[in-house]
Structure 1
């Protein structure tokens, strides 16, 4: 009797763990199909003709039109560099370099991927609009309150994500070396 109980318990644990891992892989999957660089996450197989099963599940769940592998790569940040969720009540500063690309855009979106740009402003901050330091690094301010340098003005409340899309980039291809270094995201003042 004791053997049967232990056998049933092991089967229940195995099934529970299997279902939980499957759910995690299909809903988040960051451990399996993504590349992480600081707070930024990218799915490098999104635009390939034969994505891995985790990327395929991510694409199916998101049901969003994706860029092809030769067109670009999308990095998403839901937290700052300290691991705190991005909140519209706070301002943020992005510092550093963006991987080599012909062009890039930065947008802020909510959980439903609606753009959070303030009314009457550009929907995205473009690489051609960014003020750069002498070494080529950028400093971008993101938030609802006026800030110096390059500024992505937002509206709304709650948590949000930053989406940095690199167009015609060699990041995460065979031509680049390792994981790209992405800009840091530093939290500023909060209202």
Structure 2
């Protein structure tokens, strides 16, 4: 009897402290929208986000885009599920969801931009070459590649952040994302 009580107490404390820790470190799992390697949290910009998102925002102090302002997608893995590594080169191809303007940056896990050039901290929709069908053709890595090149530096894992400003995704009746750029590992050093 006492053993069961102790086991129940340990389980209850583990779940309670575990969810609290999660809420304070990355409480954005709830209401996530995933397309391939990309994930977005459209409800995080709402006036009343869920309690986990609120705790995450309070702890990090980051400013989020409002629901009508835009949507931010992040990718920490390539399409095969391998973590993005700064020692590797990646090719991004495909359509970007409709938006008035978009940016693509590479950041370390803490959110610090790892672009090698301060003059070119990221790619944006106004200054990229596109395929004939309007799709994105970009290379992310240390070595120059075909198409648009986002040169990065550093070692270890990183994330790609695609921010859609004034996005038509999730506006009005449109609540689906048909496609996002694919992320394919080309080579590693």
Q: What's the TM-score, normalizing by structure 2?
A: 0.91
Unpaired runs of at least 5, structure 2:
none
Q: Which runs of 4+ in 1 moved over 2 A?
A: 21-31, 172-175, 177-181
1:38 aligns with 2:36: yes
Provide the rounded CA distance (Å) in 1 between the counterparts of 2:28 and 2:49: 15
> Are 2:68 and 2:171, in contact at CA under 8 Å, matched by a contact in 1?
no
21-30 or 90-99: which moved more?
Answer: 21-30
Measure how far apart 1:180 and its partner are.
Answer: 4.6
> Are 2:103 and 2:164, in contact at CA under 8 Å, matched by a contact in 1?
yes
1:20-74 deviations in whole A, cap 9, x for unaligned?
A: 2332344233541322211111121222111111221221232112222111111
Provide the rounded CA distance (Å) in 2 between the counterparts of 1:31 and 1:80: 19
Q: What's the TM-score, normalizing by structure 1?
A: 0.90
1:87-139 deviations in whole A, cap 9, x for unaligned?
A: 11100011111111001000111122221111354111011222222222211
Taking a change above 3 Å as real, the CA distance of residues 25 and 88 of structure 1, as seen in their structure-2 partners, is same
Measure how far apart 1:173 and its partner are.
Answer: 3.5
3-state SS of the aligned residue for 2:21? helix
Equivalent residue number for residue 63 of structure 1? 61
> Are 1:102 and 1:169, in contact at CA under 8 Å, matched by a contact in 2?
yes
Equivalent residue number for residue 96 of structure 2? 98
RMSD: 1.8
